Chain A
């Protein structure tokens, strides 16, 4: 086995150092080393998008990126999306609008949409559909996912008004 490389990064707002093998994917590092198993592995070659996380605010396939490449970066996973017990508007909308079935693709879609909406809060319906086409869902037929993202976008634009908690 290769020698591990020491990196520093921020994961879900927490600064940390990690020792990681040079060829370990960011996805494996998150899942196995940091126990953040909400990031799922679907195809492991960058097509399905189940492993999507935000790196410095941009959605990336964590299966296609090495952990060491996250050195100095800020990584955000589905576990870091809610604000304590307060769900992110996207989480709230996916929950309320049945934007999931088996749930395996859900974290990837949430992070993809979070990154896309942070970059452009004014996406048209067509742009939303286009962005969401980056990821695969095999259960829902996408209707409720698209609807949830559209509704979350409106909530996010309206600003950080108090949101319902999960209870």
Chain B
């Protein structure tokens, strides 16, 4: 790390483990989610109508007579009711809000019932008669590859002569791994309420990570200007990426209903509808061909990803690009070719999910390492370390130099604290004695690029008002979904003004206050909005300093803000008195702050540039026990060491790490999405889709923050983003399962796919015993 980061400042509020600002409201039931808001008198309720028979069909006629006849039904919306453009996509224009002549996946909304009660709307929604001509749906990656069905062109980047390296090498292996998708299962489902105003204005309360895009979508659908639409989001009951683009449709439908009926309208999806209709994490098949030397060092990698995007593009461009950006995980590939195919299928439109494609790249990289280790009989951790980025081997496949690598130190520390080598010996001797139960151990790293790879999204705004009593109103473009963003940004503001945290009023994200914002995504929330809020504070402070300097005849560098006071030379005046005086002297006490991430650039056509401002690092070690008779698997112990730079709030960050780990562990072990041959999702509720519970988490679960000197880039108080990187830490659980199964037959690479359900484990066990096929 550079020596330049010398940070002697004592922080009063930033970097402190302050409790979530809504915590008291959450434990008393006082926190208001959209469905808890008092509905205006006359509010109507929406329910989606869809064809429950087919995933692909031509829609010839729709008979809504019985739907309209249900008591309480006020309106039934179809595509013909859309005054603007019938599209809720982020950018590609291929997501009809209401189906237009064809059904493209099982769950596509064809019409929408508006009724006086939600029950009436839901009941009526089932009574439509569809006249359709069914087609043959493309369901799986294999279906789409066979039909050459792509949602967008493939993309490649790399360097060196991979074919030659592969041909010339003495050691070469190839393999394939299927990695499943994942349902977000935000506890609060998709919900929005629209309230019509005068002049065609519309106010929409939406559970969204992207209020600006909901605003734009509502304006587009209604055919009004963006200025006519205001979107507000106080909090979400979880988002995880599932409310980045996929909140648009429900908000736009509620707004259309409000427009058509002139009454407030609310749409809250039933959980099954939510799981059927909204997109998920992509599932992908990764194929690799690798050349390596006798020490296990990678010489060349040819990697191919085939990704199920679903019926429309949604965010698949960025998601699959990020798979490619993380196909190296933490490892240097001297010669490399990475290809990603984005496949169009008749399934829901897969979307953002914590990690945004990165996790698939990481799992592929770790499988490559594990395969090499098994093939040459080295410990996988040893092979990992030999392939880390290092001096002279520090350029990623996309040309960005890795300048801030701390993995050697971080992994070394975790290796020691988790007692890896002693436990490796113990695992070996356990497996030698135990015939049925087999243990596995793995320690895997994560290196995750921070910044939106769509460069223009790396900007943010904040609005800060100081009132004459010294209280502060804070607003910014980021949204709160439980991750503690509102608190972190409030900590920044309190720190800047030297005020206690409760003097900073946290307010709902609102497109009328801070416009043209990026989604709260890509782990960027506190990096972007923290800096924007700081800029606003500094603008106000600069005006106050000028004023105080004149008023008290004190040089500006002797004026400071702390302990609710303005320090003026050797004296101090309460902050509230200064702001009151400043107001009387006609000093503006409000500012809009703005930030755009420096240094980043990316030319996608040439595949060159620096897409990321910095990398966040972490590592985790897991021990598992696998029952090779039943496929049952138990995680026995987890140790995590994660890098948050100088954490803005260590308690919040540890929560992000633990939560991200368990969510990623669910993705890799128990959460299996099953589509049948007709393209119907058979796991559309938590009763059939297994989300981790408290007893799936090992009792020995140690999470520590890496003792960092701070982010070497100038981020907000030298912190690092933490939302997504921990999602990939449980790669160690998946590798530990592989390790356990591999112990059955040395030298054979178990063909274990993700998620490692008991069924997948049994398949891998049988194949391993057969010699790998």
**Residues of chain A at the chain B interface (Cβ within 8 Å):** 1, 31, 35-45, 47-48, 50, 77-79, 81-82, 87, 90-91, 94-96, 98, 100-107, 110, 125, 129-130, 132-146, 166
Contact = CB atoms under 8 A, between A and B. Distances in A.
A146 B240 contact: no
Contacts of B188: 40, 42, 102, 104
Interface stretch (B547-555, B590-598, B603-611, B654-662): B654-662
B674 to A, nearest CB: 17
A14 to B, nearest CB: 15
21 contacts: A37-B32, A42-B188, A43-B685, A43-B687, A47-B687, A79-B28, A87-B27, A95-B23, A95-B24, A101-B238, A101-B483, A101-B484, A102-B236, A106-B26, A135-B693, A139-B659, A140-B659, A141-B662, A142-B693, A143-B701, A145-B694
- A106, A130, A133, most chain B CB atoms within 10 A: A106
Given A47-B686, A48-B686, A103 B658 contact: no
Contacts of A143: 658, 697, 701, 703
B36 interface: yes
A102 B27 contact: no
A132 B236 CA distance: 23
Given A43-B271, A141-B697, A144-B655, A103 B661 contact: no
Contact of B658 (A45, A107, A138, A141): A141
A11 to B, nearest CB: 13
Interface in B19-65: 19-20, 22-33, 35-36, 38
A1 B482 CA distance: 39
B493 to A, nearest CB: 21
- B31, B270, B652, B701, most chain A CB atoms within 10 A: B31
B187 A141 contact: no
Interface string B677-704: 0000000011100011111110101010
B27 A94 contact: yes
Given A45-B271, A47-B686, A104-B188, A142 B694 contact: yes
B483 A41 contact: no
Interface of B: 19-20, 22-33, 35-36, 38, 71, 184-189, 235-238, 240, 270-271, 481-484, 651-652, 654-655, 658-663, 685-687, 691-697, 699, 701, 703
Given A95-B27, A100-B27, A105-B187, A40 B237 contact: yes
A37 B658 contact: no
Contacts, number: 170
- B36, B691, B693, most chain A CB atoms within 10 A: B693
Contacts of B663: 138, 141
Contacts of A103: 20, 22-23, 25-26, 31, 235, 237, 482
A50 B187 contact: yes
Contacts of B240: 138
Given A87-B27, A94-B27, A103-B237, A136 B655 contact: no
B686 A104 contact: no
A68 to B, nearest CB: 16
Question: DSSP majority for the A interface?
Answer: loop
Given A40-B188, A42-B187, A139-B659, A102 B694 contact: no
Given A105-B187, A110-B27, A132-B694, A43 B686 contact: yes
A96 B26 CA distance: 12
Contacts of A91: 27-28
A57 B484 CA distance: 33
A102 B235 contact: yes
A96 B186 CA distance: 24
Contacts of A134: 693
Contacts of A44: 270-271
A129 B482 CA distance: 23
Contacts of A104: 33, 186-188, 237-238, 482
B35 to A, nearest CB: 7
Contacts of A106: 26-27
A79 B71 CA distance: 35
Contact of B659 (A50, A96, A133, A141): A141
A36 B270 contact: no
A89 to B, nearest CB: 11
Contact of A81 (B28, B236, B697): B28
Contacts of B24: 95, 166
Closest 6 CB pairs of A and B: A38-B29, A102-B482, A104-B237, A103-B26, A101-B482, A141-B662
Contacts of B703: 143
B354 to A, nearest CB: 10
Nearest to B703: A143
Given A45-B687, A96-B19, A37 B29 contact: yes
Nearest to B481: A102
Contacts of B652: 98
A144 to B, nearest CB: 6
Contacts of A81: 27-28
A45 B685 contact: yes
Nearest to A85: B28
B724 to A, nearest CB: 14
- A78, A103, A132, A133, most chain B CB atoms within 10 A: A103
